[in-house]
Amino acid sequence: MTARRRPLAALVLLAAAGLTAGCAGQGGSPGAPSAAQSAAASSSASPAASETLTVFAAASLTGTFTALADRFEAAHPGVRVTLNFAGSADLVTQITEGAPADVFAAADTRSMDRLAAAGLVAGKPVVFATNTLEIAVPPGNPAGIATFADLARPGVAVVACAPQVPCGAAAAKIEAATGITLAPVSEENAVTDVLGKVSTGEADAGLVYITDVTAAGGAVRGIPFPESDRAVNRYPIAVVAGSAQAKLGASFARFVTDPGGRKILSAAGFGTP
């Protein structure tokens, strides 16, 4: 019911605003503009509110981009940022299938390359953050994991991402660089699935991103390991080609990379490129 009435209310407001604007232009009654202003302010449906920026972002950016979007909206009155979070590969599929995205922020350069190959990236993507792997263990660390090599010990149930997804590709890179081969009991599609298996205690350890450990709070314990710098995931952001909000999109991308954006990202555990 409310959903039905809202567009109507917006229409009425818009009509009122247009009417009073016309009056003001003709030098009409001085009381009218202020009435329109107050109406607009109270409902936040000012004429500029029709500007909506749709941002497709990797699932690992959920917390940070929600905060960034709030700040961007505050800095740009009348702009609404709509966020869509999913796995980077899923998002690429959605955009190539015609989903309306203005900005795309991926968790790896490979996904951005795929979108670029489809001719859907405007300009050059900018890397705005980095992320590295960390070992996650259940609270109490039942298997006594301390190093990356510990993960290869027999009897340790390790869960990682499948090599087809970015977090798994990163793990494979570290394995190749260190010569330590893991035998995971499960290769998951998403980092959240790895995290779930660790936090429930099903697995003794999992390989996830630092930011996932931060976001999980006390559900898991993070164990950093020096070999993680062999596989640094780079997060690129770009405006989607053909976007009707290209200018606004570009300013959102800049907003993410400016010092204010950096602060939010590093608080979540992201590194600086």
| Contacts with another protein, residue ranges (CB under 8 A) | 87, 89-90, 93, 157, 159, 162, 164-165, 184-189, 193, 196-197, 200-203
Nearest to another protein of 206, 249 (CB atom): 206
* N- to C-terminal Cα separation, the chain: 48
User: From the CB of 185, what's the least distance to another protein, in Å?
Assistant: 4
User: From the CB of 93, what's the least distance to another protein, in Å?
Assistant: 7
Nearest to another protein of 108, 212 (CB atom): 108
Rounded Cα gap, residues 90 and 109, in angstroms: 14
Q: Do the beta carbons of residue 252 and residue 55 sit within 8 Å?
A: yes
Nearest to another protein of 71, 153 (CB atom): 153
User: From the CB of 110, what's the least distance to another protein, in Å?
Assistant: 9
User: From the CB of 149, what's the least distance to another protein, in Å?
Assistant: 22
Closest CA to 240 of 128, 129, 108, 98: 98
Nearest to another protein of 209, 252 (CB atom): 209
Beta strand 103-105 pairing with 233-240:
antiparallel
Nearest to another protein of 134, 204 (CB atom): 204
| Residue 104 identity (one-letter amino acid) | F
Q: What string of DSSP letters covers 199-261?
A: HTTSSSEEEEEHHHHHHTTTSSEEE--GGGGGS-EEEEEEEETT-TTHHHHHHHHHHHHSHHH
How is residue 157 annotated by DSSP?
A: -
User: From the CB of 89, what's the least distance to another protein, in Å?
Assistant: 4
